[in-house]
Amino acid sequence: MKIKVKGIGLTKFGELWNKNLLDLALEASLEAINDARITNNDIDAVYVGNMLIGKIAGQDHLGPVITSSLGLNCASFRIEGACASGGLAVHLAIQGILAGTYKNVLVVGAEKMTDAPSSQITWALMGASSSQERKAGLTFPALYALLAQAHIQKYKTTREELAQVSVKNHFHASLNNKAQYPFEISVEKVLNSSAISYPITLFDSSPISDGAGAVVLSSDTDSKGVYITGSAASSDTIDLAQRESLTELKATKLAAKSALAQAGMEISDIKVAEVHDCFTIAEILAMEDLGFCQKGMGGKFVTSRCTRLGGRCPVNTSGGLKACGHPVGATGVKQIIEITEQLRKTSGKRQVRNANCGLTQNVGGTGATVVVHVLQT
């Protein structure tokens, strides 16, 4: 499989009060189309990754909202897969190209979250959980807190090790002018921040964000550039209690195995990765389930600085969801953009040396949906 990332466009992430969802989606889309050196009319289909706009602003039928604003009459789709909506949109766009139906597709991931009060966002996000979880009074921080507790119980992972994920990702974000929180924090700051759901604190958690990312994907393979060579999506039970294990995301393992096999790569070939650190425990689980380290060693692996810029395989050079921000529908697309920039060697101060192969992992819910992509030059 060889799908070219022909163009990329990304807005700043954060509390962008002067822009609505369409402003953000169009800004990213036009930048991506311009970067691809094509015109709007060269786009054969538009895939939009978005989770929340129908619930918090009443706007469904999002595909034509984007195409009509671009002056297009092509096919358009809104893809919803919770926080993996963006990654799923990329995955489905690739299937459209591989099927031979489309040559150039625009994938837009966009979310506008800060217009709504946090209680409404918390309620809306819980649409990605099971009804029993909602009845039990669980929230997403609480669900990931249960995963953290299971990891702590079984592998003696410490809260300090969890905090190291946040410290590293804030350092990376400090080098990224598109990040919502471009500043460094300390382990103590994470540990002493407000309790959200024990052992998860405020600074263990990704923020509520606005933002959009867009990529133009193409069947064009006759030139140099960055290519997606593996794309896989997997699923698991929506209810965390029904999982075989609380210390792994099975869907991550399955999607990674498939995507790497498609690319003909091993995890040891990956030089840079963007993974779904919605909460610090999520990045530790990702390190283990993707195979970067042994099961149970994720906390120590992160603490060893292997995944920090300058380490063996830097992870979340954008700042991740934690510090770059997490406009949920945009996140999976932003991950593709960050890896594309790394492989193009245009990442400036956060450039990973010798980056020629990267991976993204985008999670919906607590791992009920996982999408993994492999990118190469």
Partner 1 sequence: MSSPVTVWRHHKNIRNYLRKKGKILVWTKVFNAPAGFEHEAPYFVAIVKFEDGTKMPLQLVECEEKDLKPNRKIITVVRKRGKVSLDEVIEYGIKAKPI
Distances (CA, A) of 158 to 30, 45, 57, 210, 258: 45, 47, 40, 32, 32
Rounded CA-CA distance 72/34 in Å is 16
E-strand stretches of the chain: 3-10, 45-49, 75-79, 104-112, 195-197, 200-201, 210-218, 227-235, 272-274, 357-364, 369-376
Distances (CA, A) of 226 to 91, 215, 300, 355, 375: 16, 12, 32, 11, 7
Smallest distance from the beta carbon of 35 to partner 1, in angstroms?
A: 39
Q: Which residue type occupies 196? A: I
Structure tokens at 74: 């092509």
Smallest distance from the beta carbon of 207 to partner 1, in angstroms?
A: 13
How many residues comprise the chain? Answer: 377
Structure tokens at 73: 């009459």
Question: Please, which residues have CB within 8 angstroms of residue 13's CB and are 6 or more apart in sequence?
Answer: 178, 179, 180, 209, 210, 211, 324, 325, 326, 327, 330, 334
Give the active site residue among 91, 170, 172, 326. Answer: 326
Q: Which is nearer to partner 1, 98 or 246 (CB)?
A: 246
Smallest distance from the beta carbon of 247 to partner 1, in angstroms?
A: 10
Q: Which is nearer to partner 1, 139 or 362 (CB)?
A: 139
Rounded CA-CA distance 70/155 in Å is 51
Smallest distance from the beta carbon of 118 to partner 1, in angstroms?
A: 9
Smallest distance from the beta carbon of 278 to partner 1, in angstroms?
A: 15
Q: Which is nearer to partner 1, 247 or 342 (CB)?
A: 247
Binding site for partner 1 (CB under 8 A): 119-120, 122-123, 126, 132-139, 141-142, 145-146, 149-150, 153, 194-200, 239-242, 246
Q: Which residue type occupies 29? A: S
Q: Quickly list H helices, 264-366.
A: 280-290, 298-303, 320-323, 328-344
Smallest distance from the beta carbon of 133 to partner 1, in angstroms?
A: 5
Dmax (CA) of the chain: 56
Q: Which is nearer to partner 1, 61 or 135 (CB)?
A: 135
Cβ atoms of residues 334 and 319 within 8 Å: no
E-strand stretches of 41-174: 45-49, 75-79, 104-112
Q: Which is nearer to partner 1, 57 or 136 (CB)?
A: 136
- Annotation says 151 is catalytic: no
Give the active site residue among 83, 278, 324, 357. Answer: 83
Rounded CA-CA distance 13/101 in Å is 33
- Annotation says 326 is catalytic: yes
Smallest distance from the beta carbon of 327 to partner 1, in angstroms?
A: 20
Rounded CA-CA distance 77/64 in Å is 8
Catalytic positions, please? 83, 326
